[in-house]
Structure 1
Amino acid sequence: MSAPLNTLSDELLARYLAHSATKEEIETVEKWLSQFPEKRKELSEYRLIWELSGKLKPSSATDKVDRAWERVRQKMQQPTPDIDKIRPLHGGGSGQGVKRYPLLALAMTVAAALALMFGLYYYRFEPVPEMVSVVTQEQTQELVLPDGTSIFLNHHSHLEYPAQWKDDIRTVSLEGEAFFDVHRDEKRPFVISTLEGEVRVLGTSFNVNASKEGPMRVDVVSGKVEVSNAVAKKLLVKGQGAEVQRDTILSLMANTNLLGYKTQIYDFKATHLADVVESIRNGYHVDLRLAKSNISNCRLTIRFEKEPLDATLAVIAETLQLELRKDGDTYWLEGAGCR
């Protein structure tokens, strides 16, 4: 019987999470996620557990099994005595009835027994951690994690993290957008896992947009940030940014106006109106649109600091000699365009 359409094999999902899937397999998973959007949250949870389990140290169980297997392999390579010359200690027969035990089967039995023993130990003493989930809808939310890291979560976002971290890493999972001010800890990196890639820091401040609408974007406000995907890594410093997709990382200048949803500060310098609209839309959580594409290239130089929405839009329209119109919950900017 074939698998249900809304499921993929565990082996394929494991390769996808481990960044070892082929391009075709990645496309298969991405198509599956687009067809069944509810699976994104499920996969995000799996990814976080995957990241955590990769950092746990189950009493060196794997090392012990490897060493046991190596010892068995060495014995397999030793000369085997002629079994026909072996006589029973009692009975003095010709060797009939003496059983041959295949060393390979014995080795596999030993390795399987060791793996089972240490696997049971691992799952008994290293349970999957309890998870804390924070979801925003039409509001933002600020929270402080147990290590002192503060996070400002934008609307329609989902953050998940263990109730208690292990000693060697601090991992969270993000879908949506958030500003991070990470408490510095040289011994425990802070890792943000998303569907597009990973962000790793020791202690710094930066913004991560990992929404479904486009590639993950990272903008660094202070310190250093390492971003990575399945094929590459890039180190970013203050004033730098990047767009991260599954197979590419594009370097950018950091855009602090994208932090407006947190800071309520916008500092536009000869900025195209299309980019201004994007920043205002995201920061004020408002449906703002341009009536015609010919005004998208108008440039604006102005600074807003904690201004109400209506005042901000009125000043933009007046500065560029445009008209502001409201239709229901939608704001429209319209005009003849700019030279």
Structure 2
Amino acid sequence: MHSEEKIKSLIRKYISGQYTAQELEEIRDVIAKPDVQQLFDEVLEEQGTDLIPDKDMDQPHLDDKLKLFYQKLDQQSLNEEAAPVSTPQIVPMFKRRYLRHVAIWTVFVLGAAVYGITRLRKASVKEQIVYHEQINPLGRRSKIVLPDSSEVYLGAGSRLYYPDTFASDTREISLEGEAFFQVTKNPRKPFIIHTGTVQTRVLGTSFKIDAFKNEPVSVAVATGKVRVDDVRGGKIRSLAVLMPGNMVTYTNERAATSAVLATEVSGWKDALLSFHNRTLRDITSVLERSYNVKVLYSKPAIANKKISVALQADMPLNKIMKVLAATAHFDFIISGQQVNIN
């Protein structure tokens, strides 16, 4: 019985034409065995076909390798036909026929592998690009439960883009606008929110993100730990690592951290709007999204007045405006979807 290396040695001699009469008999016995095809293929890979299944899975690349292999065979044929004719020439001719058969067989097997892998890759890609998009118009909020049971409270005038199923190693979604997240803890699969170039990464926690277009991005944490980075051109720049009661605001490529009440961060999901030393214009811009109204000021000085107030955004707009008017000392008139402040 021949060992695997012995069989390979015989195959190499057969391909090169350098063998003895005794070895030729052994070669004929070896080739007749059905389980020698794999060893024959391995030797072919070593002897110049360059067809390596693990690396040459791209079909055009495979075709190029096959053409080179055929060119080598044809060149060998020309060289052997130009050489003096003798009895041993019969063996190389048989060798060429057999090599062509093996090459075709190899390409067939590799082609089947390519077809199977291509279908698998296409199926995987198809699974990865099944996304949902939740768009909230002005004046509407919504709650979304993600595939991992994490909860997202999406604000008015906001958009959430998330997959039907998460990948095996990460949980990634995209946000434009504002939302409060209660993320299911999973240390093996980090939860990543993309908001433009800003990336917020957590393992399991609750926090709020504000990321409206052309406005500063802010991340405030209610529970757990959050990492915020700026990601551009494959480079990651750390902006902040936040704990409960921390907030980072990022604008004009500058990050600033500040303190915030964790209860107010989590209260947002229940329509609690808390403002600390904010201008009236900032406050009413939030109300414009929440109530789908337009707020107009008769005097800029009123719009720039700073106040601190807590509002319950599920109350009627008329009541909200009365609270603001009593705090900032102004008069107002609501006409349809427009609020005039005097």
TM range (shorter): 0.5 to 0.7
1:217 matched to 2:218? The reply is yes
SS in 1 for 2:125: coil
Sort the Cα spacing of 1:185 and 1:65 in 2 relative to 1 into closer, same or farther, 3 A. same
Partner of 2:272: 265
Report Cα offsets for 1:110-139 as digits up to 9, x if no partner. Answer: xxx9xx959847624632322222222242
Give the TM-score normalised by the residue count of structure 1.
0.57
Q: What is the CA distance between 1:203 and its match in structure 2?
A: 0.8
Matched positions, count: 239
AA aligned opposite 2:237: A
Partner of 2:310: 303
Sort the Cα spacing of 1:200 and 1:65 in 2 relative to 1 into closer, same or farther, 3 A. farther
Report Cα offsets for 1:271-328 as digits up to 9, x if no partner. Answer: 4333333343344443234332212343434433454321121122133321112344
Give the TM-score normalised by the residue count of structure 2.
0.57
1:318 matched to 2:311? The reply is no
AA aligned opposite 2:153: F
Aligned alpha-carbon RMSD (Å): 4.0
Partner of 2:124: 126
Sort the Cα spacing of 1:248 and 1:216 in 2 relative to 1 into closer, same or farther, 3 A. same
Deviation larger for 168-177 or 181-190? 168-177
Q: Distance in 1 between matches of 2:244 and 2:322?
A: 33
Q: Distance in 2 between matches of 1:246 and 1:275?
A: 19
Sort the Cα spacing of 1:268 and 1:135 in 2 relative to 1 into closer, same or farther, 3 A. closer
Match of 2:282 among 262, 269, 275: 275
Unpaired runs of 5+ residues, structure 1, are 1-63, 67-86, 93-112, 335-339
Look at both structures and tell me which one has the larger radius of gyration over its CA atoms.
2
Partner of 1:232: 237
Q: Distance in 1 between matches of 2:211 and 2:279?
A: 23
Partner of 2:146: 145
The within-5 A match list for 1:45-194 is 91=83, 120=118, 123-124=121-122, 126-128=124-126, 129=128, 130-138=130-138, 139-194=140-195
Residue pair 2:221, 2:245 contacting (<8 A) in 1 also: yes
Higher share in helix: 2
Q: What is the CA distance between 1:151 and its match in structure 2?
A: 0.8
Q: Distance in 2 between matches of 1:225 and 1:168?
A: 18
Sort the Cα spacing of 1:126 and 1:321 in 2 relative to 1 into closer, same or farther, 3 A. closer
Deviation larger for 125-134 or 243-252? 243-252
Identity over aligned pairs, percent: 26
SS in 1 for 2:149: coil
